[in-house]
Structure 1
Amino acid sequence: MLIKPEAMKRIAYLSLFFLMGANVQANEYNASLFGCKSDGVTNNTSSIQYAIDFIANEGGGTLHFYVGRYLTGSFELKSNVTIELHEGAVLLASPNVYDYLDYSGSRALIYANGQSNIKIQGKGVIQGQVPLFTANMETLVSKGIMGRDSKQLLPDLIRMENSKQVSVDGIMLLNGLENVQSYVGCTQLTLSNQIIKSNVYESSTGIFLSSCSGVELRALYVDASGKALREVGKNEIRIQENCVTPNGKKL
């Protein structure tokens, strides 16, 4: 049976449409597809890292976390990968000190070094478990497994180093330790629409900046037991608007 030219064109257009749709869908990934469990008990560290590595190797995309509590230790964010925490999704920091990797003397829940075009966004939460973490650490110290001078083991919730085009937007960050977020040597850094509440640890810094350029701070509410914003070295903050502490003062 002969197919008319007009029908051939329609088939070609439809094929192109479905291929384009498939490519779009291929860049969006549900964390559950990689075995991530939202029960607040299962340690998802290896599953999350595998998902990020896979997406990065595919050229980039977005890893979606939907409603639930995803317990995890340290994982590294890679270039062109976005983490999307939807409303009701919580990345829950492990209370076990040994679930955090040592990145040249620093530790963090979410870490990146030398990466570009990385994002954490959405209406979800990144939450530390300070009482449990510090209690576990004290137990290790009392048993002689860990020295008392172990402050370097305290992980940040987010730490990015020497990375560019970094964006953290819309996230609520709760109960960090020494630093909730740290950015060292980053360029084109945008922090926006965040609520940061960290009063459980005695001297928690909301945002730590060191030698960063092209920084934009927009619509940030920072309630921390220590400094809301701490700077070391020369930082270039291009925009700082609607960034306040509980008493209404600017950062």
Structure 2
Amino acid sequence: MKHFKIFSFTNKTNVIIRLALAMVLFISTAAKSQEIQDTKDVWNKMESIIKNVKPVTFRNKTYNILQYGAKSNGTFNNTEAIKKAIKVCSKNGGGIVLIPKGKFLSGAIHLENNVNLHLQEGAEIFFSTNPKDYPLVHTTFEGTECMNYSPLIYAYQKTNVAITGKGTINGQANNDNWWSWCGKDTYGWKDGMPKQQKDIENLMNMAENGIEVPERIFGENHYLRPNFVEFFECTNVLVKDIKIINAPFWILHPMKATNVTIDGVAINSHGPNNDGCDPEYSKNVIIKNCSFNTGDDCIAIKAGRDADGRRVGIKSENIIVQNCKMYDGHGGVTIGSEMSAGVSNVYVENCIMSSPNLDVAIRLKTNSKRGGLIENFYVRNIEIGEVKEAVLKVDMFYNVHGNQEGKFIPRIENISLENVKVKYGGKFSILATGYKGSPIKNITFKNVIIEKVDTPFSIENVENLKLINTYINGKIIENYEN
């Protein structure tokens, strides 16, 4: 009887153990299955966004600017000839405004509905460096709306607009004109020369004090540099195949724009604040097959600055980056620092990033004056040759233009890097600093290999860091205690 009881108890124990193991296996398998499904859902959502971005279409009618008085002698100002061709084209239902082979000097070019500004291979528009050639328009400077010099190419509240072709747009910016306004001697500024700092401070104060945008007047006798190409409140936009060089300031700037495709564009411009592409308050933006060699961030997703961002209150969302190459720049793909209205749903895949002058591959930057929420930043299939500082940098204490402390504590959550290979990782694999009361939440590295990094982690106030099949300096890293 005793023997039977012992045998019975042992059997029960075995059954319990087996049931427990089966339950653990079931939970583990279910969790893994859920993880796979979640990953599929993320990238399926990206595909659905792409399908919803309708291609632009134009009438098969061409308006050659030579027929409207343009001359390619390098000295004739073609602003009026290009303007006339664009007006006639749009009035007649749209089509192609052709910039033929040659060099054409111009001031500001303003696009109209249903116009494709097409640069033939061998064509170059080189822009005047005379500020008087850029009339006052409703635009922005570093995430704050104002009345300022027109962008060099500008579309305001237009539908179905494009810039295409194998030609070049050349802002002609250098240390002898626009760049020196930044106030740095490395860009040509010297004692006694004008600079932008006072104007920036005045603009920030206007926004903080609720001054209406039409009353924030800058332009002539002020020193806020113009954006290069800006699509302001436009729908259905295409920029394809062109080369862009020597920008005064931000280069491609979709602003409050919807359904934007930037495809096959080559950007090479190393001036101050020469971000390659800055989608701001924009939705459904596809950036693909492009190359970026810049003086600032290659791609920087924006959503307004401080009080002005909160006033506008339009998130940037559904931003897709595919098959791009990033060379020089502060960051490969970044969010901020102007992001007060929030950024959601960013997808980056199949890109190559590498340069001794690339500071960070993936960068999120904000502070307590910005506030706002950054969420859902997904990266996969990236090759990184070399970065200086970090593979991933997330900074809630980004500091520029003096005191950046405020009462608007930002939130950052859901960042995922998958299938990433890094040959030279710089100083840190992850450099992340959050607030104790608002930690950075949910960073996942999966199938990530980082070689030759000085310090694997510098992390403060990060919640739920997952490292799955992640190797740093040849060693698998299974967990990290924050």
Name the TM tier (shorter chain): 0.7 to 0.9
Q: 1:33 to 1:194 in 2, by over 3 A?
A: same
Distance 2:79 2:109 in 1: 7
Of 36, 49, 57, the match for 2:83:
49
SS in 2 for 1:203: coil
**Structure-1 residue corresponding to 2:452:** none
For structure 1, the 5+ residue unaligned runs are: 1-23
Of 305, 311, 325, the match for 1:244:
325
Distance 1:79 1:228 in 2: 29
**Structure-2 residue corresponding to 1:97:** 131
Correspondence 1:77 to 2:111: yes
Distance 1:232 1:211 in 2: 7
SS in 2 for 1:226: coil
**Structure-2 residue corresponding to 1:58:** 92
Give the TM-score, by structure 2 length: 0.43
Q: 1:230 to 1:62 in 2, by over 3 A?
A: same
Distance 1:135 1:60 in 2: 36
Distance 1:95 1:238 in 2: 32
Distance 1:148 1:74 in 2: 25
Would the aligned equivalents of 1:126 and 1:157 in 2 still touch at CA under 8 Å? no
Of 275, 283, 301, the match for 1:205:
275
Distance 2:301 2:327 in 1: 20
Would the aligned equivalents of 1:182 and 1:208 in 2 still touch at CA under 8 Å? yes
Which deviates more, 130-139 or 178-187?
A: 130-139
Deviation at 1:147, TM superposition (A): 9.9
Of 181, 185, 188, the match for 2:259:
188
SS in 1 for 2:113: coil
SS in 2 for 1:126: strand
Of 292, 299, 309, the match for 1:222:
292
Distance 1:217 1:87 in 2: 22
**Structure-2 residue corresponding to 1:18:** none
Deviation at 1:204, TM superposition (A): 1.3
**Structure-1 residue corresponding to 2:379:** none
Of 168, 172, 183, the match for 1:129:
172
Query: What does the per-residue CA deviation read over 1:173-214, in whole Å, with 9 as the maximum and x for residues that have no partner?
Result: 001122111111101100000100111x22311111111111
SS in 2 for 1:155: coil
**Structure-1 residue corresponding to 2:151:** 108
Letter of the 1:245 partner, please give it: M
Would the aligned equivalents of 2:126 and 2:171 in 1 still touch at CA under 8 Å? yes
More relative contact order in 1 or in 2 (CA 8 Å, sep 6+)? 1
Give the alignment's Cα RMSD to 1 decimal: 2.5
Distance 1:143 1:124 in 2: 34
Distance 1:245 1:202 in 2: 17
SS in 2 for 1:53: helix
Letter of the 1:53 partner, please give it: K
Higher Rg: 2
Would the aligned equivalents of 1:166 and 1:189 in 2 still touch at CA under 8 Å? yes
Distance 2:106 2:192 in 1: 25
SS in 1 for 2:267: strand
Letter of the 1:134 partner, please give it: W
Correspondence 1:67 to 2:111: no
Deviation at 1:244, TM superposition (A): 2.1
Deviation at 1:148, TM superposition (A): 6.7
Would the aligned equivalents of 2:229 and 2:252 in 1 still touch at CA under 8 Å? yes
**Structure-1 residue corresponding to 2:67:** 33
Would the aligned equivalents of 1:97 and 1:133 in 2 still touch at CA under 8 Å? no
SS in 1 for 2:320: strand
Q: 1:77 to 1:122 in 2, by over 3 A?
A: same
SS in 2 for 1:42: strand
SS in 1 for 2:228: strand
Distance 1:143 1:175 in 2: 21
Distance 1:135 1:216 in 2: 29
Distance 2:106 2:198 in 1: 25
Deviation at 1:136, TM superposition (A): 9.3
Distance 2:180 2:77 in 1: 17
Distance 1:50 1:148 in 2: 37
Q: 1:135 to 1:158 in 2, by over 3 A?
A: closer
Distance 2:298 2:223 in 1: 20
Deviation at 1:151, TM superposition (A): 3.5
Letter of the 2:165 partner, please give it: G
Letter of the 2:264 partner, please give it: N
Which deviates more, 99-108 or 173-182?
A: 99-108
Letter of the 2:73 partner, please give it: D
Q: 1:159 to 1:238 in 2, by over 3 A?
A: closer
**Structure-2 residue corresponding to 1:158:** 229
Would the aligned equivalents of 2:128 and 2:172 in 1 still touch at CA under 8 Å? yes
Letter of the 2:261 partner, please give it: T
SS in 2 for 1:209: coil
Q: 1:192 to 1:63 in 2, by over 3 A?
A: same
Give the TM-score, by structure 1 length: 0.81
Would the aligned equivalents of 1:96 and 1:136 in 2 still touch at CA under 8 Å? no
Q: 1:135 to 1:244 in 2, by over 3 A?
A: closer
